[in-house]
Structure 1
Amino acid sequence: MIARPEQLLVALIGEAAIGYPTALFGAIGHPVTWIGGAIAALERGWNRGSAPRRRAMGVALIIVVAGGAAAAGLLVERIAGDHAIGITAIIVLATTGLAQRSLDDHVRAVARPLRRGDLVAARAAVAHIVGRDTATLDQRGVALAATESLAESFCDGVVAPAFWFLVAGLPGLFACKAINTADSLIGHRDDRYRWFGWAAARLDDMVNWVPARLAGLGIAIAGGGGFAVMWRDARHHASPNGGWPEAAMAGAIGRRLGGPVSYDGAPAPRAWLGDGPPPDAADLDRALAIYRRACLLHWLSVGAIAWLR
């Protein structure tokens, strides 16, 4: 039987090379969109009543969604067994939980118009990957938003699912993606989700604790620097995890990330990470190059684990 590290390495390389086919997405969507649809449906029916009830129902949602995802992964592994076709199926399904290619595609879609000075197109592209208001962002504001998303998503979309696949196979990867998706959709502190999304946010913090630090380390190594800034500034981030890859990227490119933003017109103060001015179009290109090297470093690390086994 091919061990998990070997399966993961093939999945990482395959996903980076091919990604998730556009035609397949158009026909059946993506597993993450299926999870998102289930979360949205449950939220509409369960997110009501008193604060204690909302919190309890939010816990129930996480149990149902993450538990269901893990059970699906376990079922696939049981059916797959040790046969070549089954192992291939596991590898193919594992690629759906990774986002190296799609993250690179989305950030390049921001970098291209930004490089040629088309701020309108760059704003439209960055709006697909960040939740903040983008209509009034200048060039540096767009580059900053894309760079932050690139760094944080390296953890959420690459390192974390890979880590949990190594730990617990497809059940671990699927549960990780379900928890991350739930946090993205309901793990907010506004009036609607403060209580209902509490469990999703806390569990996502737990699931990403180790991967975030590994992601920060990978970015700093790939960027040839950033360790000092990461160690100094990561704790200033509102998230216990998001600051590690973001501060590492800030240090690696020698620019400042973070700072105040707005969501739906409401100002949101944030700490600054790093030193110097915010990034520009050229810095976003540098961040993309660091991200690609960090992905390669990730492959080498998984390959080393496979070899040592």
Structure 2
Amino acid sequence: MHVDGMQFHNVGELRPAESGDGRLIQRVPEAVRTGLNEGAQSRMRHPAGVELRFVPEDGETVELTLSVEPGGSAETGTVRVFWGPIQGYDEFEIGPEPTTVEVSMPEKLTRLTESATEDLAFDPQVCRVCLPGEHRGGYTVYHGADGERRPPAEDELPDRRYLAYGTSITEGEAVLGEHLTYVSQTARRLDADLINLGSCGTAYCDEAMADHIAQRDDWDVASLSLSVNMVGTFSAETFRERAEHFVDTVAAANPDKPVACITIFRNSLDVVEGEDEAGECERFREELREVVAESPHDNVHLLEGPELLPAIDGLTTDLVHPGDGAMTTMAERLAAELDPLLADR
């Protein structure tokens, strides 16, 4: 989406903010959002993986005015700035009152040699303003921009796109920065642009989300992490039905694109005595294995979550959510699985 001379990456729609000032950023169009379960409707307004991208003209300073709409336990969020693949030192805290942040390209980056940049997926002159992905925060509101700028050109961005659907682990809870999620790190290893559709606590394989992913034409490979959120909320039989419909819908509409289904990652249900006496977590994994094995679509692939996250090393203390170290392990292993699938296209 291009608005105000910028690319709003991973944004499906801008909506009027409840305060009446500014536009609320959400990751899917409103018609899709309202078709999701109630919790997922809220999650799609959290800007996980959302970036405002532009190229400043002639060394101009660009100003962006942003705020956080109350809605979570944290009232502020951290905006981080990257220049293409290069991490900047600029970090800005935004809160309920509109805050104007200023960004300008570091002088040293203007003198990079051609040999240093020719193989980069992102051109370093592309400013990537990464919005707060903190899961306990509110929604982000865009109030406007000043300064000469243009949207990135197609050849200044990665030519691959990786779409990820899943739980809070995909959306990115517990990491110290949005760029450290396993899906963001996987995208970087694949030289791909990330489309993050993670849905904290609410990845229920909704039909509306399946239809949305199936109809999008802006991705080359997808991973579907299905879904620890459904354990204890749905029966294994219902999970099987919903997962089968979800996978079939996405794969059938995109027969030339790899669709990697990931079984539930290793978590407390696997390693803490008395947490999963009925073995439901493993049963859900087995149901997904069968869905993939019985799929009529050649582009559907199975990846085992416990193999992507082989130990509890690097998890946070809830033994569910990966910390930074575990996210890196997952990304290394997932990228190694997805890269050959992309090469086969």
The two structures share one fold, judged by TM-score above 0.5: no
Larger strand share, 1 or 2:
2
Larger helix share, 1 or 2:
1
Choose between structure 1 and 2 for higher RCO, CA contacts under 8 A separated by at least 6 residues: 1
Give the TM-score normalised by structure 1.
Answer: 0.28
Give the TM-score normalised by structure 2.
Answer: 0.26
